[in-house]
Amino acid sequence: MTDVPFGAHSRRKSKYSPREPASGGARTSAMIASLDAEGRETVTAPFGTALCDLAARRDDIVGLSADLSKYTDMHVFAARYPDRFYQMGMAEQVMLSAAAGLAREGFTPFATTYAVFASRRAYDFIAMAIAEENLPVKICCALPGLTTGYGPSHQATEDIAIFRGLPGLTIVDPCDAVETAQATQAIADHPGPVYMRLLRGKVPDVLGRYGYEFRLGRAQVIRDGADVLFVSSGFMTMRVLDAAERLAADGVDCAVLHVPTIKPLDVATIRAEAAKSGRLVVVAENHTVIGGLGEAVAADLMRAGIHVPFRQIGLPDEFLDAGALPTLHHQYGLSVEAVTAAVKSWL
């Protein structure tokens, strides 16, 4: 079965039509994940390329897609290794059950779809067939959080909240192309199941300038600062790094602690950084403020008896609008300008 173009099947098409951006917003396709790539180096299909590199060294690597290989960069792997790629059609539950079967036979399956379909539609199959059995299935999903403008049917704003309660499931939220490639290889070596959020297409290279190396389960300080501690994951690390530079121009010294592994959470590093006196702690995530990194960090700090000024930057607990991404990101507080303004208001 070949890939169906996005929107060609009624089950995949959102009932929400992309709207023109409000005045001042950039005009761009609602499907483009605008991540401030202008002026940055980008890498095309870092996930698909990394998966091919893995497959060249390991015969156990196989790929599956729920009719979305072109939109998860799995098509790169499919073209290189057609005999190790399985097109499962619009059947996420079947795909993940098949991935479980492949894992039982000694393979390491990478299964791709959109984050909304894995988290909402296939949760029980992941829980029963994969997580409970601790099988090494890697569930890699595009369009996490607010990375599409096609409305609630495709915006996976609550995927981490859904998966955080599932025992034994590792959750990874990479920042950029560098980390996506490194994390793909790291999760292949992990013996259990993993859910990883994907950035696809031309993905910015942000962390390369810092000499960053992904370590599964570890948070890392990207920059230090005395006034504010940003704790961030995913592309919001990109945003807070930019915001930190703008705030520095106004005399506000910001640290950035990048937390790519949401579960298990690196509580030792987070506690150590949060406990440093005099800093406002701001958790920034591309996810609803309910049940994600922010609540995980807040709960752990409270349990550890670390009481610090604390704020969250995240998506509201509501179904979001459709429209152009730059407009939506600013509307919901994820843009560099919005982050900068919020921090200034809290100091």
- Residues annotated as part of the active site: 92
Q: Is the dihedral of CA 245, 250, 253, 257 positive or negative?
A: negative
Please tell me what DSSP assigns to residue 226. S
Distance CA 64, CA 73 (A): 11
Distance CA 167, CA 24 (A): 45
Distance CA 238, CA 40 (A): 11
Closest Cα partner for 33 from 75, 73, 79, 74?
Answer: 73
* β-strand pairing of 254-258 with 220-223: antiparallel
Distance CA 226, CA 246 (A): 15
Distance CA 175, CA 206 (A): 8
Closest Cα partner for 171 from 63, 273, 292?
Answer: 292
Q: How many CB atoms lie within 10 A of CB 91?
A: 16
Q: Are 99 and 65 in contact (CB under 8 A)?
A: no
Helices (H), 174-235: 177-189
Distance CA 332, CA 4 (A): 31
Distance CA 297, CA 304 (A): 11
